Amino acid sequence: MGAISPVPREGRPFQGQQAGLVTRLVANTVDALTVSVVLLALHVGINALMFLVSPRNFEFATASVLLSVTIALLAMLVYMTIAWSITGRTYGDHVMGLRVVGRHGDRVWPPTALVRAALCVGFPIGLLWCGVSTSRRSVQDVLLRTSVIYDWRPRRATR
Look at residues 96, 87, 110 and name the one whose alpha carbon lies nearest to residue 158. Answer: 87
Query: Which of 66, 67, 80, 81 is closest to 31 using CA atoms?
Result: 80
Q: Over its length of 159 residues, how does the chain's per-residue pLDDT go in tens digits?
A: 566 777 777 777 788 889 999 999 999 999 999 999 999 999 999 999 999 999 899 888 888 999 999 999 999 999 999 999 999 999 999 999 999 999 988 899 999 999 999 999 999 999 999 999 999 999 999 999 999 999 987 765 444
Domain ranges of the chain: 12-32+69-150
CB contact at 8 A, 20 and 148: no
Distance CA 87, CA 24 (A): 17
